[in-house]
Structure 1
Amino acid sequence: MKSTATTQQQDLQNIKKLPILISLIIGAFFSILNETLLNIALPKLEVALGVSASTLQWLATGYMLVVGVLIPVSALLVQWFTTRQMFLGAMVLFTAGTLLCGIAPSFELLLVGRLLQASGAGLMLPVMMNTILVLYPPETRGAAMGTIGLVIMFAPAIGPTLSGLILQVAEWRWLFFLVLPFAVMSIIVSFIYLKNVTTITKPKVDVLSILLSTLGFGGIVFGFSSAGKAETTWASMEVYLPLVVGGVSILLFVIRQLKSNEPMLDFRVFKYPMFTLTTLMLIIAMMTMFSTMLLLPFLMQGVFLMTTFAAGLVLLPGGLLNGLVSPLTGRLFDKFGPRALVIPGSTLLLIIMWLFTRINLQTTTATLVVLHILLMIAIAMIMMPTQTNGLNQLPQRLYPHGTAVLNTLQQISGAIGVALFISIMTSGQQSYFMTLTAEPTTEQMAEGLLSGIHRAFVVGLGFAVVALVISLFTKRTKAPVEQIVMSSTTS
């Protein structure tokens, strides 16, 4: 067994890593881009397809739901299939879904296409993260993870801007047609350059665990996504029923995994303290980022009366800088460790969230641009350094489980953040209107929306305080003893 591990390590040293990294990045960029690319087109689709806004919401909810369900299962799949099989299979699913979305004559087929896209994305993200962990040793992993961070953060950030630009000059179908050639290119590049870097162990398939995982994570994502809709409240059956079913299923799922000798998703990763800390930090960061990205368009379009395209342009500089900063934070992480990035990043996040609570009707567009830029820089300083540091503490056998846990919780925390902040914004807006004695004027409508957004940002400020406190406990991790021994046998 030891000789097999040694041979694999020697093989990995001879693999050209850059072509593999490029093929992974191309596919991941466009799959993640699709999470936010379609949102801005929903009003046009409402007219073009003749369906209600609540029905169209399934295009976004369904996408998050499938990704949230598939990522936990991926921890099992990456032990049954090779890297090439997983990534190429995911990209074929994503490409087929993109083509179907582009030619879909009805809402039903468009939804099927979106679910196929989500299936590809849900399988692709864990494969990408796991491959990076296997290919790069802990001392150089920060730079590689920083490059991946460029994709994970940059793609959804530029989605609204890119979508607004395309919709200015073409119909909604081009949102998919323009992605299609890049998806095909990713398949070709990965077919040529992608190598198998993981070991297939073929663990036992636990059907009950898969069922509990699907009901649990799917129910949580669906429940919180439903809570974010305008026509529902937390007391609505479509909100609390999925949350109850999801919560009970996750509890049973966790108990079953802890008792299993071959768990589908090994929750023993939480025995490693820096990984647990990483999980908490990422949940807060993702909730803050996703919710702020949703609140700012409401602020710009509902309060400052900007066009969709103009609002997208305001968010563009932050998205671009976030992409540029992520690789830099990765290299700084390799050199100085996580504390030099995570503590200043959390401090900056706290300051920015406080400044967001001070926004008023006299706030300028330039101020919004600067605040968003600083927010995205703060997130970049937190996300990848924290994630890399936490995963570095895990032994290699737990890499698939660690990446699956983090990716799953990122999806769920994103859904929770959106639903929570939307409901806070709505209740704050309604509270403001209750103080009026007559029908609100246009200016009062804007003030009411601003009042609700302020409440949401105050809650975001509270999350930022928690993030700063957690960051103070961050310590640099080292590779587990078993990996140090394994590495020494190859030298």
Structure 2
Amino acid sequence: MTTFATHDTEDFSVPENETTNHEPTEARVESPYAVLRWLVLATFVVILNETIMVNAIPRLMVELEVSARSAQWLSTAFMLTMAVVIPVTGWFLQRVTTRQAFLTAMTVFLAGTLLSALAPVFWLLVAGRVVQAAGTAVMLPLLMTTLMTIVPEHDRGRVMGNVMLAISVAPALGPAVSGVVLEVASWRWLFGLVLPVAGLITWVSMRRLTDVGETRESALDVPSVLLAALGFGTLVYGLSRIGAEVETAVPAWALVVAGLAVVVAFLLRQRSLQKRDTPLLDLRVLSHRTYAVGVTIQSVSFLAMMGAMILLPLYLQELRGLSPLQTGLLVAPGGLAMGLLGPRVGHAFDRFGARPLVVPGSIGVVVALGVLSQVSETTSYGVVLGTHVLMMVSLAALFTPVFTLSLGALPPQLYSHGSSLLGTTQQVSAAIGTAVSVTVLSSRTTSLLEGGATPSAAFVGGVQWAFGAAALISLVVVVLVLTLPSRSADHDADESPCEEPAAA
């Protein structure tokens, strides 16, 4: 059994007062939390890579001679791969050791990074991004599963807060980092700089990383893998095509319906496999009420957040004329504030419970989106900056407690499946949020243009309605957080973990 640390420090290390000055350095016992340090470093790098390409698309269109529609596949293919791979991680993480999972994820990520850096043609660059995404898809579930395994319940808020710092700051820094690199070097250096850093982290981590938990033998159900890939892949792709300027041969709505049908078939098969205890994605996690509510809150919050992340750059660049670098620098403080507040939120959660955080946090998200729904052609950049910071800080107050409560409601044998399902729903929610925002924006803009409005006025009207829609969706979160317990019950002791889940 893993020995838990019971200290209260700002990092993952054992305090110095736990060893005497008479002990040689070699005799000091490294904290069991130290495994998280290496996982967090690696996760930071792979998540940073997810947003680092944002500012490079215009240059890629010129150098690799591709259209804007084709260039978007750099983001779409990454998102599709994440949606396809994450459902398999629940099974994968139970079958292999921590070191094996880490080495597999980082080796795949490094291979994709190298391929992207050297890609002579566009389709090889897309292939490199797909390989990168496959490695990235394993890292976050691995980090969360390991955290829940080694950190006792009373200390999870603090540790989760430190983890969320890295997870939140990385995507916020991506556009700004890429903007700086592109000012002085080729787009290939976006991968060339990541490659040695990721390689060094992998080498050092494999020298110090220890295995956590126990592996469990289980057969891979190939039909489930195929259904998950086809269902989630088609669903996310269909959602990403909603509102696109150029429609595909198969309408977006048809892709969404087909994807949903296959996802339902996948879920039904998992329920059947649960009787033999061999599901690819164990849906018994949903029999735990706190987890089910937490997943819903995370999904709706992520949906609204992704909608805002799509709308704000469009507003700042298309209407206000800012460059991608200026846009990245304007929104970076929000992401930094979200990350830096993470440890404080974690401390507050451990001390006071979830309610004092998630209730004002959910209200803050609604207020911020409501303010953004009133933006105009002359709104002060200070107002935009302050409102974005409010939204990100409010999300920090939501995410850390809800993540901790949700996974804490599960028994240890379901941690990997719980982390996998959280990751899968986030990818689907991101696609839904993008689709809803783009659809509302384009439909409202078109309506105002037909009514005689100027293009700029019509675009502002579309942005306002899209932010307004996100604010209305976020009201659901305000209601749901009121049903959460303030602290984790012992694996939802009032609920049977072996019950069949409610219909997904």
Deviation track 1:94-153 (CA, whole Å, cap 9, x = no partner) reads 111111111111101111111110010011111111111111011111112112212222
- Is 2:395 aligned against 1:388? no
What is the CA-CA distance between 1:228 and the residue it aligns to? Answer: 5.0
- Is 2:146 aligned against 1:131? yes
- Is 2:221 aligned against 1:206? yes
Aligned mates of 1:88, 1:211 — CA distance in 2: 25
- CA separation of 1:24 and 1:10: change in aligned 2, threshold 3 A: closer
1:297 counterpart SS class: helix
* 2:257 aligned to which of 233, 244, 266: 244
What is the CA-CA distance between 1:481 and the residue it aligns to? Answer: 8.2
Answer whether contact 1:329 1:380 (CA < 8 A) is retained.
yes
* 2:2 aligned to which of 4, 9, 12: 9
Aligned residues: 467
Query: Hey, what does 2:340 align to over in structure 1?
Result: 324
Aligned mates of 2:99, 2:134 — CA distance in 1: 16
What is the CA-CA distance between 1:216 and the residue it aligns to? Answer: 1.4
* 2:364 aligned to which of 325, 348, 357: 348
What is the CA-CA distance between 1:417 and the residue it aligns to? Answer: 0.6
- Is 2:149 aligned against 1:149? no
Matches within 5 A, 1:232-381: 232=247, 237-260=250-273, 261=276, 262-381=278-397
What is the CA-CA distance between 1:11 and the residue it aligns to? Answer: 8.9
Aligned mates of 1:478, 1:42 — CA distance in 2: 47
* 1:404 aligned to which of 413, 417, 420: 420
- Is 2:487 aligned against 1:479? no
What is the CA-CA distance between 1:479 and the residue it aligns to? Answer: 2.3
Name the aligned partner's letter for residue 152 of structure 1.
Answer: I
Deviation track 1:428-451 (CA, whole Å, cap 9, x = no partner) reads 111111112xxx7xxx32222111
Runs (4+) off by over 4 Å? 10-15
Query: Hey, what does 2:63 align to over in structure 1?
Result: 48
Aligned mates of 2:409, 2:327 — CA distance in 1: 41
Q: TM-score, normalised to structure 2's length?
A: 0.89
Of stretches 389-398 and 284-293 in structure 1, the one that deviates more from structure 2 is: 284-293
Answer whether contact 1:302 1:446 (CA < 8 A) is retained.
no
Aligned mates of 2:250, 2:425 — CA distance in 1: 24
Aligned mates of 1:11, 1:39 — CA distance in 2: 41
What is the CA-CA distance between 1:85 and the residue it aligns to? Answer: 0.6
Name the aligned partner's letter for residue 83 of structure 2.
Answer: G
Deviation track 1:396-435 (CA, whole Å, cap 9, x = no partner) reads 1111111000011111101111121012111111111111
Answer whether contact 1:338 1:385 (CA < 8 A) is retained.
yes
- CA separation of 1:312 and 1:9: change in aligned 2, threshold 3 A: closer
Query: Hey, what does 1:83 align to over in structure 2?
Result: 98
Q: TM-score, normalised to structure 1's length?
A: 0.92
Matches within 5 A, 1:422-433: 422-433=438-449
* 1:97 aligned to which of 91, 112, 120: 112
* 2:245 aligned to which of 227, 230, 242: 230
Answer whether contact 1:12 1:197 (CA < 8 A) is retained.
no
Aligned mates of 1:232, 1:40 — CA distance in 2: 25
Query: Hey, what does 2:14 align to over in structure 1?
Result: none
Matches within 5 A, 1:49-198: 49-198=64-213
Name the aligned partner's letter for residue 464 of structure 1.
Answer: S
Aligned mates of 2:311, 2:436 — CA distance in 1: 11
- CA separation of 1:325 and 1:481: change in aligned 2, threshold 3 A: closer
Query: Hey, what does 1:486 align to over in structure 2?
Result: none
* Structure 1 unaligned spans of 5+: 1-7, 483-491
2:94 counterpart SS class: coil
Name the aligned partner's letter for residue 468 of structure 2.
Answer: V
- CA separation of 1:15 and 1:72: change in aligned 2, threshold 3 A: farther
* Structure 2 unaligned spans of 5+: 7-28, 494-504
1:139 counterpart SS class: helix
Name the aligned partner's letter for residue 243 of structure 1.
Answer: V
Q: Percent identity?
A: 36
Of stretches 17-26 and 249-258 in structure 1, the one that deviates more from structure 2 is: 17-26
Of stretches 223-232 and 83-92 in structure 1, the one that deviates more from structure 2 is: 223-232
- Is 2:476 aligned against 1:462? no
Answer whether contact 2:91 2:280 (CA < 8 A) is retained.
yes
- CA separation of 1:18 and 1:392: change in aligned 2, threshold 3 A: closer
Aligned mates of 1:379, 1:218 — CA distance in 2: 27
Deviation track 1:149-197 (CA, whole Å, cap 9, x = no partner) reads 1222221122222222222222211111111122112201220121110
Deviation track 1:292-345 (CA, whole Å, cap 9, x = no partner) reads 111111111112111221111111111111110112111211111111110010
Aligned mates of 2:31, 2:58 — CA distance in 1: 46
Deviation track 1:266-303 (CA, whole Å, cap 9, x = no partner) reads 11111111111101110111111111111111111112
- Is 2:33 aligned against 1:23? no
Looking at secondary structure, tell me which structure has more helix per residue.
1
Aligned mates of 2:185, 2:441 — CA distance in 1: 33
Answer whether contact 2:4 2:152 (CA < 8 A) is retained.
no
1:78 counterpart SS class: helix
Answer whether contact 1:26 1:182 (CA < 8 A) is retained.
no
Answer whether contact 1:91 1:186 (CA < 8 A) is retained.
no
Cα RMSD, aligned residues only: 1.8
1:79 counterpart SS class: helix
- CA separation of 1:300 and 1:11: change in aligned 2, threshold 3 A: closer
Aligned mates of 1:354, 1:10 — CA distance in 2: 47
